[in-house]
Amino acid sequence: MKKIWLSALCLAAVAGFSGCNESIQVDEFGKPVGSMSLDFSSHSLALSQANSCEDYRKHILDSLARKIAYERFGTYGGYRWGWDVDYAEEPSASPDATNSGSKESAGDYTVTNVQEAGADELDSVKNDGTYMYSVRGNDVHITQVWPPEEMKDVSVIRGIGESKNSDMYVRGLMLSGDKLLVLGTAWTWNDDDEKWWYSEEASVVNVYDVSDHAAPKLIKTHKVDGYIEDARLIKNRLHVVSSAEMGVSWYELYDLAVADIPGVPRFVSPWEDDDFSYDDWTSEQWDEYYEKSEAWFDAREENIKKYLPNIRAWVEQKYASMDDLKWPKYTDGTVKRDAVSCSDVYIPATSSQKDGLLLISEISGDNFENFSAKAVSDYGWLIYASTENLYVVSNSSYWWSDCMFDEKGCKPYSHIHHFNLGDANGQVKYVNSGEVEGMIHDQFWLSEYDGHLRVVSSPIYWWGNSPEGHSLSVYDVNTPSVMKLTGSVSGFGKDERVYSSRMFGKKGFVVSFRNTDPLFSFDLSDPNAPKLAGKLEIPGYSSYIHPVGENHLLTIGEDGDENGRLTGIQLQLFDVTDLAHPVQKYKTVIAQDISEDDYSSYGWSEAMYDHHAMNYHEKSGLLAVPINISSWTAYNYHHFSGMLIYKITPDTDFELIGGVDHADLVNNERYWWTNLDRARFYFKDAGVYDKNAYVYTISGKGIKVNDANNPKNQIAVVEYE
């Protein structure tokens, strides 16, 4: 493989740096062959904390040179935009809203369905015993839901992040006492015809005081470069993982990569250009190219400092007028400070994707006013958290493509970086890292128990079946620097794709599918010797697994026949008391529940892809499943866009109690679906579930409250405006 020397890029990129005494080799794909002289730990997997800004500069030199080479020589490595946003609009009360005052609270109620108790997750709906907070677009509705007969919207926070040249995608909500946290990714753009069109991006956390529900008050805004990947609220401390660029904006990078250099041709996509071949140039010609490049860069030394990383937190000042801004500078007009210091940046010796920066922020305090952060010089978009630890996963391939070219060739692998969340007064601390061959596709593929991390991985990238099968590995997460692999099971589910996983306590379960659904059960009681204990093969597959007690699993997925043809959405309950012999105890197919005389039907449920959409109250056995279904007989069509209510316990089969349809809120014969995706159960008295039980169903059109034991009985409805 032809090697290209980037000595000129090294000199150019660090004209404002000190200490760059070495040149960097890259192969024809722009991958650096050399390495920086950082003092990493004894194992290449561990992150190294930068001791100084000089250490960090040496590292980003590698990334910057790689990015320029990627653009100059035609790889599709690309870039991510650095954006910024306007502040959220002040909340506006509904016209008829009055001070909500103190209200009575329900005796029992369900909340967001999460993976680990105590680690709350972002969701579009949050609730307490009296009020519900619902994201609909860029609005947040605050609704009094108890008592059910008095349900009403008391206020609406409208147009969060919206202005003439800015917008915001609200990722979800967190609720901590009387503080409502609205998280999202926002951007501000320039549409001046005389300038490059570009945007600036920021992760945003808006903190509202909702002690007066009729007049919520914005009391704090945190804004950080990049976009939100995910978040957890643990012990009233918010942990946010976001991805940011490493200082060079895409338009600057593009200009640098394609700029005219006297005597030097410009190449774009050389492997698709019949007129160019790396073999056409001799070593002398490459040397001449870089000599000319070096002279060109040196002449522009004064512009190099802008390529230093600029990871920023934002303080509370209003934005300047868009007319006053001079592009391409940042558009916020605020005073800025570093979100992290150089010593808070952790550098991987082996980076899966070099051109990103993961920011792990902690926001705490009575009003969530305190901000601190650590950073990992890598990309990643998957996190898992217990109540004590946070794990960030970096995969060696982007979700839209095959694996990147790196020192492992093109075999995918995943790095797991482990951070301890500290005690109530502590801060996030890096602990160690681990590596898994293959990809980790979902947060449920990880589980922490008794000082060990259990990880399911697949050798395939994102789609398709694996001829090698899949693996379940167990790591000791208390070992210094590097997680210690204590045991593993490999090769299960050959020629199939993993559709779901769930591990809790000393048990683990994985569902794979091609023609039939093998439910694999694992004995994880000995972390040094995990065992594949049993296997159950049945038609169809499960896309989400929900534990019911220690010995049962509630699942949603698709039914199928022996040839692998999928025939409808199904719910199942498995008895896994005996891991060697898991048993399908109960099953129901939703389409058959709706209409038994269907000629054909089609259904789709958000709960198959988002576990927050399923809501189960284990003590009562009540289950809410959102469904959009269209079915037809010889005479007419049936449409249903709502929530089905079941009762299911380990001792009783699925019983369809009824459905709550929101199609009537659409008032459009052509478009009958409503994006109904959340439900909550409320009970007047804790422990009494056969009466005074209510189900609240939330769609894009409004909220309905119905009798949970007789859903035909609608008690109240609030339509969103």
DSSP 249-309: -HHHHHHHHH--BTTB---SSGGG-TT--GGGS-HHHHHHHHHHHHHHHHTTGGGGGGGS-
Give the lowest-confidence range in 154-163, 177-186, 190-199, 358-367.
190-199
435 beta partners = 415
Predicted local confidence at residue 351, as pLDDT: 56
User: Which residue type does 449 have?
Assistant: Y
* Phi, psi torsion values for 67, nearest 5 degrees: -65, -40
CA–CA dist 446, 442 (Å, integer): 8
509/260: higher pLDDT:
509
Q: How confident is the model at residue 641 (pLDDT cuts 50, 70, 90)?
A: confident
State the DSSP code for 280: G
Residue 568's pLDDT is what? 82
pLDDT of 291 reads: 64
pLDDT tens, position by position, 468-499: 899 999 999 999 899 999 999 999 999 898 99
The mean pLDDT value for 681-698 works out to 96
pLDDT for the residue 1: 28
Give the residue with greater pLDDT, 629 vs 607.
Answer: 607
Q: What pLDDT does residue 170 have?
A: 96
CA distance 519 to 446: 17
Is residue 580's pLDDT more than 50?
yes
How many CB atoms sit inside 10 A of residue 624's CB?
26
> Which is more confidently placed, 403 or 181?
181
Alpha carbon distance 561, 471 (integer Å): 27
pLDDT on residue 636: 57
For tokens 């000082």, name the residue: 451
81 has pLDDT over 60: no
Tokens for 23, please give them: 């040149």
For residue 216, name the pLDDT band (cuts at 50, 70, 90): very high
Domain boundaries, the chain: 3-79+248-307, 83-244+308-381
DSSP 8-state code for residue 409: B
- Evaluate whether 624 touches 614 at the Cβ level (below 8 Å): yes
600 beta partners: 632
CB atoms within 10 A of CB 361: 25
Please state, in angstroms and rounded to a whole number, the distance separating the CA atoms of residues 428 and 360. Answer: 8
**Per-residue pLDDT for 31 more than 50?**
no
Judged against a pLDDT cut of 90, whether residue 456 lies above it is answered with: yes
CB 223 within 8 A of CB 316: no
Query: Of 683, 686, 621, which Cα lies nearest the Cα of 649?
Result: 621
User: Quick one: average pLDDT of 60-76?
Assistant: 53
- CA-based nearest residue to 441, from 422, 457, 459, 423: 457
Could you report the per-residue pLDDT of 264-317, keeping only the tens digit for each? 555 544 444 455 554 555 666 656 655 665 565 555 444 444 444 455 554 433
DSSP conformation class of 62: H
The model's confidence at residue 347, banded by pLDDT at 50, 70 and 90, is confident
For the chain, percent of residues with pLDDT exceeding 70: 64
Contact 49, 430 (CB under 8 A): yes
